[in-house]
Amino acid sequence: MQKQSAFDPPYAAAPTASGTGWMRYASPAVFYPLAGRLIPFLAVAAALFACAGLYVGLVVAPSDSQQGEVYRILFIHVAAAWMSMFLYLVMALYAALGLVFNTRLSFMMMRALAPTGALFTFLTLWTGALWGKPTWGTWWVWDARLTSELILLFLYLGFMALQSATDDAQRADRGGAILLLAGVVNVPIIYFSVQWWSTLHQGASINLTSAPSMARIMIAAMLLMVAAFWLYGAATALARVRGLIAQREPGALRRHGKEAR
């Protein structure tokens, strides 16, 4: 049973379903059933998009003229890399909202996203190594982008370790939020590293300022995988946040259930 600190009444207060429109879902007890309804749809959609993306990327898309078949790893690698950075930014946004507005759900979503973000970061590094061995002749180089992506993995792992280091949920939430906000500077370093420094890592194949350097079918496969990973990340985050809500506020869930009946 976790102890609640006496100096922070707003955080420890029971959730309410006050508010109108979407604002009422800021209450963990109100958000809980909504998350439960969304999870099956997100999970099924993630599986469908993943199957479509893998089929297009592995079967339909032609071989690359320079890299041959090994380039197909990039359909997973690039999508995972984008999600590793995107989820960290989303976590940092929830951290800022939690610190500024003291919203319980923001801190819970921050926690719920971390394992998936760490998974995508590890997947990025692993698939990058699989691609780098036949392309560069080595599994790993201390390239600016690879090194900054490795730092991102350490930030995810450090955040999760900090959450587990204490039974005081409030202290863990605030300490983790500060760590996330401090680590945000690493995300633009990852993205712009190939422009700022001379690196082995190739530049972006898709950007907003110029035409893509890939065939349309390759871009389609990559975007399908990005959608699949995004849907998977949303489904897993909602499943974890439901667990956190049930753990932290079981009484509020029971009260809300009685009111709904």
* Average pLDDT score, the chain: 84
* Digit-coded pLDDT (tens) for 140-162: 888 888 999 999 999 999 999 99
Of 53, 20, 34, nearest to 226 by C-alpha is: 53
Say what angle helices 28-55 and 104-136 make with each other, to 10 degrees.
20
Number of H helices, E strands in the chain: 9, 0
Q: Does the pLDDT of residue 99 top 90, yes or no?
A: yes
Half-sphere exposure of 170 (CA within 13 A, CB side): 13
**Domain residue spans in the chain?**
36-203+212-253
Mean pLDDT confidence for 163-185: 94
Q: Which CATH class is domain 36-203+212-253?
A: mainly alpha
User: 30-39, 80-89, 98-107, 133-142: which range is least confident on average?
Assistant: 133-142
Which pLDDT score is estimated for 175?
A: 95
Q: Is 64 helix (H, G, I), strand (E, B) or coil?
A: strand
What residue has token string 């898709």?
A: 206
Q: Does the pLDDT of residue 251 top 50, yes or no?
A: yes
Which pLDDT score is estimated for 197?
A: 62
What letter does residue 15 receive in the DSSP assignment?
Answer: P
Q: Does the pLDDT of residue 29 top 50, yes or no?
A: yes
User: Both tokens of residue 222?
Assistant: 């990559």
User: 99-103, 237-241, 247-251: which range is least confident on average?
Assistant: 247-251
What backbone phi and psi angles, to 5 degrees, belong to 64?
-80, 140
Which pLDDT score is estimated for 213?
A: 58
- Please, what's the largest Cα pairwise distance for the chain? 65
